């Protein structure tokens, strides 16, 4: 028996659904509008809510959003007299289990209710997991609580307990290896090795022996047998980073190793059997590579059993502040410095910046700023934003030539640049410029005189 909430401003429909569901053995409570229904949900947890779409005060979509905030594990079915594809998609995006028209077949609705209640049990643990992640701000070394990242955490948590192969997709610097490590560390293989290989960082003629090992005498310099990374990762996880760079000839051998769970060392004649979970990652469009003929279709489908897409940082800007806080504390401790705080103007610059290098670039910016800063506040002059110029907020460009640089001169250039911008923005007002730069007026005057701004 389940606790079900029926929400409809049509008394006849409420009574019909109440009778039907009661006959099925469920406990039923009715509300005549969405506001009343949300009040009920704050006092009682329902397994399922069946709601009309068009209602006064609070409509079905708003009720859906509200109940998902109050009780994410409650399943919701929407019923409407005016079905529309756009509304259906909107309902599904907000977490509705199903969407049916009012001229429904009774047996069909009973089946939908039954299926929803069966699904509810499997979703309860997931909802509790998401609530825990929201409280923690992070999962498995990944930082952020945007909807996009919560979705990444949820999928990662689900696949961790399985043995399926996972393809992790995302731009460079988004944290694909962190997702792979989270899958490994939250699964049954966490006590076994986690082995990483960058398929684009090893010359082609060495990559095969790195993956599969070699036998003594198989080539010049092979003075002894050497196991490959497949053997090193036995019982654990092998993470193939930049899988799109894998040469075609090795794609064939990798496919056989995945399908047959066997391989041969370079120069070997015996098959070696190994149990390894495969996780792969790429910043390329592998589906397009398959169409272009540069990546094998059969290998693509072997790797892409479950895809996880990590969005770029510019698409989840609400994660920037917790990431900044995390990296500031990390590098304050790492450089054995007093805990730093970031000035409001520095924060404004970072929030406006496009981060073409994603989280990796943000971490690099904060590491430099903490290392170079001499006060306990991260000031704009400490920020080195080195995007390609097309991204907003790109205020500085710093090249590091082979012969090195004069650090003092470069820092002076950065200070002069930012002070000039602050004075221009404040129409020459030194007191306002000092506030923008989070320095005292005396300090600003000293810097202006010293730098001859």
Please say which residue of 260, 280, 311 terminates a domain. 311
CATH assignment of the domain containing 373? 1.10.8.60
Does one domain contain both 147 and 295? yes
Residue 131 lies in a domain: no
pLDDT of residue 392: 34
Q: Mapping DSSP to helix (H, G, I), strand (E, B) and coil, where does residue 125 land?
A: helix
Does one domain contain both 306 and 320? no
Residue 176 lies in a domain: yes
Does one domain contain both 167 and 295? yes
Does one domain contain both 91 and 155? no
How many domains does the structure of the chain reveal? 4
Q: Closest Cα partner for 341 from 319, 384, 373? A: 373
Please say which residue of 295, 311, 327 terminates a domain. 311
Q: How far apart are CA 417 and CA 111, in angstroms?
A: 67
H or E stretch covering 257: helix 248-260
Does one domain contain both 394 and 408? no
pLDDT of residue 5: 95
Q: Closest Cα partner for 80 from 106, 58, 98? A: 98
| Bridge partner list, 214 | 226, 266
Residue 133 lies in a domain: no
pLDDT of residue 388: 40
| Residue written as token pair 């007093």 | 338
Q: How far apart are CA 325 and CA 318, in angstroms?
A: 12
Does one domain contain both 307 and 319? no
Does one domain contain both 232 and 273? yes
Q: Are 357 and 171 in contact (CB under 8 A)?
A: no
pLDDT of residue 277: 94
CATH assignment of the domain containing 448? 1.10.10.60
Does one domain contain both 387 and 420? no
Q: For residue 295, how far is the Cα from the chain centroid?
A: 25
Does one domain contain both 258 and 364? no
Does one domain contain both 26 and 55? yes
Query: 3-state SS of the chain: helix, strand, coil percent to 5?
Result: 50, 15, 35
Quickly count helices (H) and strands (E) in the chain: 18, 18
Residue 178 lies in a domain: yes
Residue 48 lies in a domain: yes
- Listed in sequence order, the residues at least 6 apart from 27 whose beta carbon sits closer than 8 Å to its beta carbon are 1, 2, 3, 4
Using alpha carbons, list the distances in angstroms from residue 130 to 49, 135, 149: 21, 9, 10
CATH assignment of the domain containing 182? 3.40.50.300
pLDDT of residue 135: 55
Give pLDDT tens digits along the chain (453 positions): 889 999 999 899 999 999 999 999 999 999 999 999 999 999 998 999 999 988 888 888 899 989 988 988 889 998 877 655 556 656 766 778 888 887 888 988 998 898 888 876 555 555 556 566 655 556 778 888 787 888 888 889 888 888 889 999 999 999 999 999 999 998 889 999 999 999 988 887 789 999 999 898 888 888 898 999 999 999 999 999 999 999 999 999 999 999 999 999 988 888 999 899 999 999 999 999 999 999 999 999 999 988 999 999 988 888 898 899 989 999 988 888 888 888 888 888 888 888 989 999 999 999 988 888 777 888 888 888 765 433 333 334 455 666 677 777 777 777 887 888 888 777 778 888 888 888 777 778 777 877 776
* Model confidence pTM above 0.95: no
Please say which residue of 74, 90, 123 terminates a domain. 123
Does one domain contain both 300 and 411? no
Does one domain contain both 276 and 326? no
Domain that holds residue 411: 404-453
């Amino acid at each position: 028996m389940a606790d079900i909430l029926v929400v409809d401003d049509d008394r006849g429909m409420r009574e019909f659904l109440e009778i039907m569901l009661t006959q099925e053995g469920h406990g039923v409570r009715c509300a005549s509008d969405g506001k009343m229904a949300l009040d009920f949900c704050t006092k009682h947890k329902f397994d399922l809510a069946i709601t009309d779409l068009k209602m006064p005060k609070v409509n079905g979509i708003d009720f859906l959003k509200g109940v998902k905030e109050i009780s994410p594990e409650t399943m919701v079915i929407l019923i409407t007299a005016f079905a529309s594809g756009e509304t259906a998609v909107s309902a599904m995006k907000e977490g509705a289990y199903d969407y049916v028209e009012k001229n429904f077949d009774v047996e069909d609705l009973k089946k939908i209710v039954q299926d929803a209640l069966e699904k509810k049990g499997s979703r309860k643990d997931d909802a509790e997991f998401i609530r825990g992640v929201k409280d923690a701000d992070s999962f498995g070394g990944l930082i952020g609580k945007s909807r996009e990242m919560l979705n990444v955490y949820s999928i990662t948590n689900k696949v961790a307990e399985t043995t399926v192969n996972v393809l992790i997709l995302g731009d460079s610097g988004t944290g694909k290896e962190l997702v792979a490590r989270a899958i490994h560390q939250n699964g049954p293989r966490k006590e076994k090795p986690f082995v990483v290989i960058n398929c684009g960082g090893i010359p082609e003629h060495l990559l095969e022996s790195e993956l599969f090992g070699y036998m003594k005498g198989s080539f010049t310099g092979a003075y002894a047998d050497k196991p490959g990374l497949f053997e090193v990762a036995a019982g654990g996880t092998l993470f193939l980073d930049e899988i799109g760079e894998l040469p075609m000839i090795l794609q064939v051998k990798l496919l056989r190793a995945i399908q047959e769970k066997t391989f041969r060392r370079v120069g070997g004649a015996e098959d070696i059997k190994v149990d390894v979970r495969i996780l792969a990652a790429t910043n390329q469009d592998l589906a397009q590579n398959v169409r272009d003929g540069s990546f094998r279709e059969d290998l693509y489908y072997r790797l892409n059993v479950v895809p996880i897409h990590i969005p770029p940082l510019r698409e989840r800007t609400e994660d920037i502040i917790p990431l900044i806080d995390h990296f500031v504390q990390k590098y304050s401790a790492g450089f054995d410095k007093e805990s730093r705080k970031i000035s409001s103007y520095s924060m404004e610059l970072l929030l406006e910046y496009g981060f073409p290098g994603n989280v990796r670039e943000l971490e690099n910016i904060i590491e430099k700023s903490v290392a170079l800063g001499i006060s306990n506040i991260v000031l704009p002059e400490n920020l080195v934003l080195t995007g390609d110029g097309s991204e907003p907020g790109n205020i500085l460009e710093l090249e590091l030539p082979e012969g090195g640089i004069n650090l003092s001169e470069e820092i002076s250039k950065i200070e002069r640049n930012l002070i000039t911008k602050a004075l221009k923005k404040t129409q020459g007002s030194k007191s306002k410029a000092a506030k923008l730069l989070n320095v005292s007026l005396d300090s600003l005057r000293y810097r202006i005189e010293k730098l001859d701004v």
